[in-house]
Amino acid sequence: MEVKRVAVIGAGLMGHGITQVCAQVGKYEVNMQDIEERFIDNGMKMINESLKRFVNKGILTAKESEEALGRIHPTLDLKEAVQNVDLIIEAVTENPIIKKAVLAEVGRYASTHAIVASNTSSISITDIGAATDRPEKTCGMHFFNPPQLMRLVEIIRGLKTSDATIDSVKQISIKLGKEPVIVRKDTPGFIVNRTLIPTINEAVYLAAEGVAEPEDIDKACELGLNWPMGPLKLLDYIGIDTFVSITEVIMTETGDQKFRPNNLLKQMQQANLLGRKSGRGFYDWTRKDQ
């Protein structure tokens, strides 16, 4: 299927980055929708800042940056966002009830040929597909943070997802400059989070038990395991609240206690120590040296 126009639902941490990639790399016309003007404004601000960094580094020209911005069309109207597009990428908060409610509404307005792809990092694609009017045209399209830089996309098949949908989303991902992997079975957490979450959680246990300082835990993983970023710093980038939501979904779906989030994470969430987005988590992001 030829894709000319894309809608991204959600202008937040992931949504604005996915929007930028679609406009900048894919050269698609992109409708970016959210429920409040302040979310749209913040998303556009982050896109502008990211494009400026690319221009300053010589990755983009000023003209290419302006052209990418010209392909982005922010809106508060969901119907307007999805009714004439070929691909809809849902990037709302990692909550099954909210996602299914949004996608049920999307299904009422979208063209019959449109593919619906969820950027969920843990929620069942089969369950999400059942909330739409097109489970055969619904799949997971899980980008990684930040989407502008991370090359991986997990493409997840739901129980009713068609081969044609998977093939189309794979080709779209390649056009976006990504390296797609196909998750053939709809399993909680897919590939990366199923592997990563217990590892990050164990690093939190080390910090909570006072075994080592967060900086040294991260340094050990960076130098000893050749990780580009330590698990606790990565957790601050993901967001403590997002991580807790992901772990709870996977734990509920699998029944496996190894995914249970450490209590320290719950306390940090209650204290609004969410990581980079709130200014503090395991690190103080208000400091200029971070």
Q: Which residues carry out catalysis?
A: 121, 142, 154, 193
C-alpha 225/C-alpha 214 separation (Å) is: 16
Label the pairing between strands 179-183 and 29-33. Answer: unpaired
**62 CB-near residues (< 8 Å, 6+ apart):** 55
Q: Is 280 exposed, middle or buried (0-12, 13-18, 19+ CB in 10 A)?
A: middle
Give the residue ranges of DSSP H helices in the chain. Answer: 15-24, 37-56, 62-70, 78-82, 96-109, 125-131, 163-175, 192-208, 214-224, 231-238, 240-254, 263-270
Residue 218 in tokens: 């991260």
C-alpha 150/C-alpha 152 separation (Å) is: 6
